[in-house]
Amino acid sequence: MDDHLKQVADRVTSAFMNYRIWRIYTEPGDRAKYLEVLRKYNSFFLTGLQAHFLATIIPLYGLYERRPDGISLTRLIEALPSEQLRREMQATLGEAKASGEKSRPSATRCSPIYQTLTSKRSSPRLSFRRITSSG
């Protein structure tokens, strides 16, 4: 369980660090501090903007994957030593899932990206239209 907990924590930490970088690019208050550098290396930071956004979303999305060999919150809960603690964590996870139902279309669009990035075998080509469509 300790190894699984560390892997989940590493995912969350990585996502948070990439989120902070992404916010520097997008938050007016943070952006103003680095504006001169951002302008000087414009193409680098434009590319980084998308990369850091994806590096935030993909690890967090992976915490909800259903693969039995994945690093997910569900597997972490299953590894808990106490039945009472498992029930409490499942209830908390259920509440989080229920509150996130309104973001289901976004999660559906993330799925092909996540599957392609984490697949050990060749995946079908991603369609930009499929990822960005609202349905």
Decide if 55 contacts 14 (C-beta within 8 A).
yes
Please state, in angstroms and as integers, the Cα–Cα distance from residue 39 to each residue in 21, 35, 43, 49, 67, following that order. 16, 6, 9, 13, 42
Region of 67 (left: φ > 0; alpha: ψ -120 to 50; beta: rest) is beta
pLDDT category, 56, cuts 50, 70, 90? very high
Q: What is the pTM of this model?
A: 0.61
The Cα 77–Cα 82 span in angstroms is 10
pLDDT category, 128, cuts 50, 70, 90? very low
Tens digits of residue pLDDT in 67-107: 777 777 777 777 777 777 777 777 777 776 666 555 554 55
